Amino acid sequence: MKHLPLYRRSLLVAAGVLLSSAALASQTATMTVQANVVATCELSTVPIIDFGNLDPTIDNVTQGDIVWKCTNGFNTVIKLDGGGSGNILARTMTGAGTLPYQLYTDSTRTQVFGDDVDGSSAAVSGVGYATSGNVTVYGRVLQADAATAVAGAYGDLVNVTIVF
């Protein structure tokens, strides 16, 4: 009887060795990890180009910033259409009558801000941004147009498009 507990103990140790040897076996497999960054842009801010009360003795100017944010790694183009007139080179506000105005890409107001389709206006291009990018829109109502306008409020809606 004294050997029985030793026998049982030996069996338990042998079983433990068998179990621990089975636990030492392994298998390795490869796990795939992947992602796809989708090109996306958002126009964060589209300004109101507000000329305020026009002075008929001078050219009236104003400006505002278009702000956008895109994923990195691709080019973007900002385009403006012709507004209600449908003509980028002859934009007009309407109200008590019509009031010609123009939007530009530069502070000297020499390059019309458009869609670059007609060849005489420019869109603004750049790269995708991980942080916000911006472009300034410069506006002008010529003195002669302000001087001949009928008194009243005027407005126009211009579509801003970001192509990416």
Stretch 52-76: mean pLDDT: 91
What is the structure's pLDDT at 21?
53
Q: For the chain, give the DSSP string.
A: --HHHHHHHHHHHHHHHHHHHHHT------------PPP-EEEEE-------SPPTTS-EEEEEEEEEEE-SSSEEEEEE--GGGT-GGG-EEEESSEEE-EEESSTTS-SBBS-SSSSSSB-EEEE--SS-EEEEEEEEE-HHHHHHSPSS-EE----EEEE-
Rounded Cα–Cα distance for residues 36 and 101 (Å): 44
pTM for the whole structure: 0.78
pLDDT of amino acid 22: 54
Tell me if 105 sits within 8 A of 138, measured CB to CB.
yes
Average pLDDT, integer, range 51-70: 95
pLDDT digit string, tens, across residues 20-51: 555 688 999 999 999 998 888 889 999 999 99
| pLDDT given at position 38 | 87
Check pLDDT > 70 for residue 161: yes
Indicate the average pLDDT of the chain: 86
Residue 80 clears pLDDT 60, i.e. is over it: yes
